[in-house]
């Protein structure tokens, strides 16, 4: 999938936040990842022509 890179970046950022005492940011990035996945899947299911 061409959008895998953004999910990897978000995962790296979440790991960084969690291991560096930024729990609120880690939680927000988890939510952001869920939104990104939903939007990516939506574009796959209904591609723009």
What residue segments make up the domains of the chain, in order of their start? 4-45
What average pLDDT does the structure give for the chain? 93
Predicted local confidence at residue 3, as pLDDT: 86
List the alpha helices (DSSP H) in 1-49: 4-19, 23-45
Predicted local confidence at residue 42, as pLDDT: 92
What average pLDDT does the segment 3-7 reach? 93
pTM, to two decimals: 0.82
Nearest residue to 30 (alpha-carbon basis) of 17, 39, 40, 41: 17
Quote the CA–CA distance of 31 and 36 in Å, as a whole number: 9
Q: Give the angle subtended at the CA of 6 by the CAs of 41 and 46, to the nearest 5°.
A: 20
């Amino acid at each position: 999938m061409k959008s895998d890179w953004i999910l990897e970046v978000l995962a790296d950022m979440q790991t960084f936040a969690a291991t560096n005492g930024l729990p609120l940011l880690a939680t927000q990035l988890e939510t952001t990842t869920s939104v990104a996945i939903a939007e990516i899947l939506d574009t796959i299911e209904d591609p723009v022509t």
